[in-house]
Structure 1
Amino acid sequence: MPRKVVNRRTFLKATGGTAGIGLIAGCSSGGGGGSDDGGDSGGDGGGDSGGDGGEMTTTSGSDDGGSGAINIGSVQPLSGNFAPWGQTHSAGLAFGVQEINSNGGVLDGRELNIVEADSASDPAEAASIFERFAEQDGIAAATGPVSSDVGIRTSRTAQELGIPMFMHMAGSNDTITPETRHSFRVGLVPATPTAQAQAGLAADRGYENVAAIVGDYAWGRSMQSGIQNNFDIDVNIQVAPVSQSDFSSYVRQISEDVEMVIASGHPPGSLSITGQLYELGRSPDVVTGPSFPPNVIRSALGENANRGFTHVHLSDPYSDEFAEVATRFAEANGAQFNTHTAYGYVTAQLIAQAIEDAGEADPQAITEATRAIEFDTLFANPIQYADSGELENQIQLYSSISLDAPSYYPDGNYSYEEVFRTDPLPAIAAAE
């Protein structure tokens, strides 16, 4: 199978995927390109997928069991609905590995090596890629899933193979169960703590007029339950089909003086909901969306990107550490490092630290070291895991998208303005 080397063009493609409102809203929960959760929102990569179904590597060599390179499997959606997530995560992962190798690698000089293939968000294809990487490349760990369908399938595959899988998004509660002992979340907390976080945002601002539009499927229903259980006020909750694109009838049932609209419960429609709120004369202070890559938000909403729609993220773009990494990334690749590029970068650093803590590249040892890790990185709080593999004590941030370029990338057309950050969120119990 052909391999390709990561180069500047790959990075530019990986950080440049955008999507329009109509494209995102048109995605449904069916098949491999569905939307399952707060990060699993459809969105075509704007025709610039960067994926060809082949494999790529960032260095040469393979793990010889003691002194060679250590292979990391990257099972990414490089084409299809989730390409903007996969491309961006891939770019951050590759940059993180490059920096690790430039700084001497791990375990006294061993380099990390990425083998990558395009899953196109197909669960069966993702599982097949994972198995091939295990059999042919001897991978020590894997990463990449965005959609929950892929996350659930590869989480089970990780258990069967005994190889740790680090989830980019995949926020369904069902991704992690008591039986999946090799799966770890990185970039997204599930619906229950997300609803808790948004209740905290409303309470912090003293909002009394709050509405929500949720999708009629697992993630939306989980958000609906979370809203009902965590908000101290009555929230006007409407349930819409997951494939809905015209939300005007729902928006008209929201009062004109609404202060906050929760669109996080309908990820594939959240940007359409936002645009139609403005078109129909609603101007809430805050519209909570899912964890879209920020370049997708900027492209889809245009000049309305800074009117109240909030980007939800765990990486902290307001820290000095984030700016330092973003500056190095821009200098090396001529592209903007963002909150989702950071998830790939953090995953590389997290795997490297787990290998160091384990003292070896054995997958089982890496799994156990990850479960015990406390790793300070580009997130607002150090990464820690409950025994289940769920993130523990993470801080979720809500940011509006500024139309100005960040200091570390003057050619950019967006940056961030902090709206709210939560207290540390507890890990949820593993789904039974």
Structure 2
Amino acid sequence: MKITNIALAAATAAALAACGNAEQSASQEASAGSTATTEGKVVRIGSANPLTGPFAHWGRDADNGVKLAAEEANAEGLTLDGQKVSFEVVSEDDQADPKVATQVAQRFVDGGVAAVVGHLTSGAAIPASRIYNEAGIPMVAGSVTSPKFTQQGYNNTFRIIANDLQQGQALAKFAVGELKLKNIAIIDDRTTYGQGLADDFAKAVEAAGGKVVKREYTNNTATDFMAILTSLKGSKPELLFYGGMDAQAGPLVKQMRKLGMETRFMGADGVNTAEFAKLAGKAAEGAYASSAGASKELMPGFADFNTKYKAKFGGEIQAYAPYTYDATKVLIDAMKRAGSADPKKFLPEIGKTSLQGVTGPIAFENNGDVKNGTVTLYQLQDGAWKGVTPGSNAAASAAQ
């Protein structure tokens, strides 16, 4: 009787486990927008982003780009390795945390993903990339801007966006050369992204003939900046540059205005969002920021992509969905050319990419950087980010 009960319990447990696995698989397929199939091979693509916390609006947006590209590839009915394939997006929440990101990376490796799109932030992407490199898994980033990402000597890491060195130089030249602002204060959030960007900006300011009159630090969860701003106020900066994300930049600008500081404000791509304008309100008017890529108006495929994105997900594109969409297309294009979803076979093809994407032409330097990375400058006018061309009337009038 005991043996029978044990056997029955084991059978019941196995049935429940199988049911759970089926539900999990169905959930993953639904999240990827793909169709379940009883034939052929499923190719899994990892998508790593902060899906909870203050940067979740960025992460969900980036994840949507991957899903849309995979859904379109599934509609093609591709054959790889002699089998019909479908693509499944496995989405993981790395919380923009380096430690969590390495755990996510290991789960991707253990789960047998063919490639990874992500991670969203430089601080998460760099430690995770080491794990993918050891496993030989290709990684294409749509938003990682730290120069360190492609300075590690890995042959599996690529990005389709400009880096912070390029952003820092463009912003500094604009601030000092176009806006004629010489005395500049800097705050950064001590993350890989924020501090690295601030360092590059500071060097470029000095090179352009400006002066960094004060430099302070915060963190990427802070909300009270009054002490830091009071310290900065005494140095009378003409411009405050913030190296960090919109969640801190919004309250920072509001508190700056409460202190009566008329100092101009500037950030980079982490600030160039609708969320920043919402958080800062009227205090943000006139702020400057950059994007590590072409403006939406100049992206050759943006109009069509925007229509598809809204139809699928609703709402507005935050920032990086076009880049993660293109990153996914790069991976699938490499698989097509290799005729295989085996990373060992299609990884060498990624470096040979020559693709016209939503964001523009995509090809890679030997280190994995995108060729001819573009930086675009913006100013917040009437609550919306509008492109500013150096040397234009808009730039000249803003400097007066």
Cα distance in 2, alignment partners of residues 88 and 293 from structure 1: 14
Any conservation in 2 of the 1:294–1:311 contact (CA below 8 Å)?
no
Contact 1:372–1:385, Cα closer than 8 Å, also in 2: yes
On the 8 A contact 2:62/2:120 being kept in 1, the answer is: no
RMSD: 3.4
| Bigger Rg over Cα | 2
Question: Aligned partners of 1:366 and 1:186: how far apart in 2?
Answer: 18
Aligned position for 2:66: 93
1:98-117 map, 5 Å = 98-105=71-78, 110-117=85-92
Q: Which residue of 2 aligns with 1:288?
A: 267
Do the aligned partners of 1:79 and 1:120 also contact (CA within 8 Å) in 2? yes
Residue 105 of structure 2 is aligned with which of 118, 130, 142? 130
Equivalent residue letter for 1:139: V
In 1, distance between residues paired with 2:305 and 2:286?
A: 28
Displacement, 1:303?
A: 3.6
> Aligned residues: percent identity?
19
CA deviation after TM superposition for structure 1 residue 90, in Å: 0.8
Closer/same/farther in 2, CA of residues 222 and 129 from structure 1, 3 Å limit: closer
Worse-superposed segment, 171-180 or 386-395: 171-180
1:39 is aligned to none
Amino acid at match of 2:202: I
Say if 1:286 and 1:125 are closer, same or farther in 2 by CA, change over 3 A.
closer
TM-score (norm 1): 0.71
Mapped partners of 2:185, 2:349: distance in 1? 40
Cα deviations by residue, 1:337-369 (Å, 9 ceiling, x for unpaired) = 343222222222222222223332221333322
2:277 alignment counterpart = 298
Gap change, CA 1:174 and 1:393, over 3 Å in 2: same
The partner residue of 2:41 within 65, 68, 72 is: 68
Q: Which moved more, 1:155-164 or 1:275-284?
A: 275-284
Partner residue of 1:167?
Answer: 141
| Distance in 2 between residues matched to 1:394 and 1:203, nearest whole Å | 22
Partner of 1:348: 328
CA gap of 1:402–1:363, structure 2 versus 1, over 3 A, is farther
Q: Tell me the SS of whatever aligns to 2:46.
A: strand
Number of residue pairs matched?
357
What SS does the corresponding residue of 2:48 show, helix, strand or coil? strand
In structure 2, give the amino acid aligned to 1:72.
I
Distance in 1, matches of 2:67 and 2:50, equals 15
1:144-178 CA distances to partner (integer Å, 9 max, x unpaired)?
31233321221101111100112343433433344
In structure 2, the partner of 1:205 is: 178
SS of aligned partner of 2:357: coil
How much does 1:388 deviate?
1.6
Quote the offset at 1:223 in angstroms. Answer: 2.8
CA distance in 1 between counterparts of 2:116 and 2:123 reads 17
The aligned amino acid for 1:318 is E
Q: Distance in 2 between matches of 1:229 and 1:75?
A: 32
Letter in 1 for 2:57: P
Which amino acid in the other structure matches residue 366 of structure 2? D
Q: Which residues of structure 2 form unaligned runs of 5+? A: 1-20, 392-400
Alignment deviations for residues 28-57 of structure 1 (CA, whole Å, 9 cap, x no partner) = xxxxxxxxxxxxxxxxxxxxxxxxxxxx54
Q: 1:63 to 1:398 in 2, by over 3 A?
A: farther
Tell me which residue corresponds to 2:313: 333
Change (3 A) 1:389 1:274: same
Residue aligning to 1:155: 129
Give me the whole-angstrom Cα distance separating, in 2, the residues matched to 1:134 and 1:421. 45
- Residue 142 and residue 361 in structure 1: after superposition, are their counterparts in 2 closer, same or farther (change >3 A)? same
Task: Tell me the distance in 2 between the aligned counterparts of 1:361 and 1:308.
Answer: 45
Aligned partners of 1:156, 1:285: CA distance in 2, in Å? 39
Q: Please give the per-residue CA displacement for 1:280-321, whole angstroms capped at 9, x wherever unaligned.
A: 444456623442462321321224444224252425310352
Q: Given that residues 317 and 339 in structure 1 are in contact (C-alpha distance below 8 angstroms), is that contact kept between their aligned partners in structure 2?
A: no
Contact 2:50 2:60 in 1 (8 A): yes
Query: Matches of 1:170 and 1:155 in 2, distance apart?
Result: 11
Q: What is aligned with 2:117?
A: 143
Alpha-carbon distance between aligned partners in 2 of 1:266 and 1:331, rounded to the nearest angstrom: 28
Corresponding position: 1:318 with 2:297? yes
1:235 aligns with 2:211: yes
With normalisation by structure 2, the TM-score equals: 0.76
1:322 and 1:110 map into 2 onto residues whose CA distance is 28
Amino acid at match of 2:216: A
Contact 1:398/1:418 (<8 A) preserved: yes
Seen in structure 2, the aligned counterparts of structure 1 residues 272 and 366 have a Cα distance that, compared at 3 Å, is farther
**In proportion to residue count, which structure has more helix?**
2
Match of 2:387 in 1: 418
Q: Give me the whole-angstrom Cα distance separating, in 1, the residues matched to 2:117 and 2:134.
A: 16
